[in-house]
Amino acid sequence: MDTKHIINATVENQPAVLSRIVGLFSGRGYNIETLNVGPCADPRFSRMTITVPGDEHVLEQVTKQLNKLVDVVKVVDLTSEKHIARELLLVEVGAPRQKRSEVMSVAEIFGAKVVGVKETTLTMQYVGREDQVDDFLNLLRPYTIVTLARSGLLAVGRGD
């Protein structure tokens, strides 16, 4: 059965590390569903949050291959561990004056923030679990989504 695995990789903050890791995935025919990279508390390192669809065999192979790369310091599969995962959504929605209050009501229900207003559109920011982002988008679809950008998953392990 295919599962979406959440992998955190701590890597050296060096040029071409991202390229080598993406090459590792594409060279073996594995798909990266989402990928986020950012600096850690220690600026010598970056954290990559990678979501990979596949069965346990795919996860095992990806983990082994990542661990072989010299720039990779640590690899953790967060899928079955306690973790916190969030995604950022920026979405511009058609909202002419007669529909604006409806769109704002949907935003309010989800706790989304209006970050841009034009004559016929609203741009909103929403941070939530992936399923919440999906639910928010589904309620906005009748209002015409003009533009959307999703960050992909960010995740950290959660201690006890």
Q: pLDDT for 32-79, tens place per residue? A: 999 999 999 999 999 999 999 888 888 888 888 898 888 999 999 998
Residue 111 Rama label (left phi>0; alpha psi -120 to 50; beta):
left
> Strands of 45-54's sheet, edge to edge?
34-39, 45-54, 3-12, 72-77
Of the CATH numbers 3.30.56.10, 3.30.930.10, 3.40.50.620, 3.30.70.260, which one belongs to the domain with range 3-81? 3.30.70.260
pLDDT at 160 over 80: no
Measured CA to CA, the distance from residue 65 to residue 71 in angstroms comes to 12
Does the pTM surpass 0.75? The reply is: yes
β-strand partners of 51: 6, 34
Continuous H helices in the chain: 17-27, 56-68, 97-110, 130-140
> Which pLDDT score, from 0 to 100, does residue 6 have?
94
